[in-house]
Amino acid sequence: MAFAVEFVSPESSLYSGEATQVVARTRGGGEIAFLTGHEPFIGSLLASEVRVTESSGTVASFAVRSGFVSVTGTSVTVLSDEASLVSDIDLEEAKADLAEAEAALKTDEDDKFAAQDKQWAELKLSLAAQSD
């Protein structure tokens, strides 16, 4: 049985559709799969891949930098300030971001924002490489 899935970001609604399964990775909980009728759940997401299995059986894959997943029995909402479809990842941009973050880390090792930027760029690159 299908349920409603929505990806909401501050600039737009990234995706909305019907799905039979959503797989995400939460902080402290590892991978978690949501099916219809899952108990109400709110989780904090790690920079990771979120896979949505649509009713038609195709799998849509998203790279999520951070965010939350909010689940009720009939819907899954992914709140993320930065997310994109894996197929939409701009490789050049991700590479440039990675180089920039590494340069920032060289000057200041404790720059936690640069460390996050680096992690995010690496995630995007590896997901994009997998999908090819």
Partner 1 sequence: MPGGAERILRRRIGSVKNTKKITRAMELIAATRVARAQQRAKAARPYAEQLTGVIEDLAAAGADVSHPLLRQAEKVENVAFVVCAGDRGLAGGYNSGVIRSAEAEIQALRADGGNYKIIAVGRKVNDYFKYRGFDIEKDFSGFTDNPTYENAREIARSVRDLFDAGEVDQVELIYTQFISMGTQEPTVRRFLPLESTESIAESGGGNAEAVAGYSFEPSPEGVLEDLLPRYVEARLFAALLDAAASEHANRQRAMKAATENAEDLIVKLSREMNRARQESITTEIMEIVSGAESLNDDQAVTRLDLILDHLHPEHLIAEHAHQ
Residues that bind partner 1 in the complex, under the rule CB under 8 A: 8-13, 26-29, 32, 39-44, 66-68, 70, 72, 77, 79, 81-82, 113
Measured from the CB atom, the residue of 25 and 51 that comes closer to partner 1 is 25
Measured from the CB atom, the residue of 39 and 132 that comes closer to partner 1 is 39
- DSSP SS3 for 4: strand
Q: How far is the CB of 118 from partner 1 (least distance, A)?
A: 15
The partner residues of 8 in beta bridges, in order of sequence, read: 13, 79
Which alpha helices (DSSP H) does 45-84 contain, by range? none
Rounded to 5 degrees, what are φ and ψ at 75? -150, 155
**Residue 92: Cβ within 10 Å count:** 7
Measured from the CB atom, the residue of 49 and 65 that comes closer to partner 1 is 65
Q: How far is the CB of 56 from partner 1 (least distance, A)?
A: 25
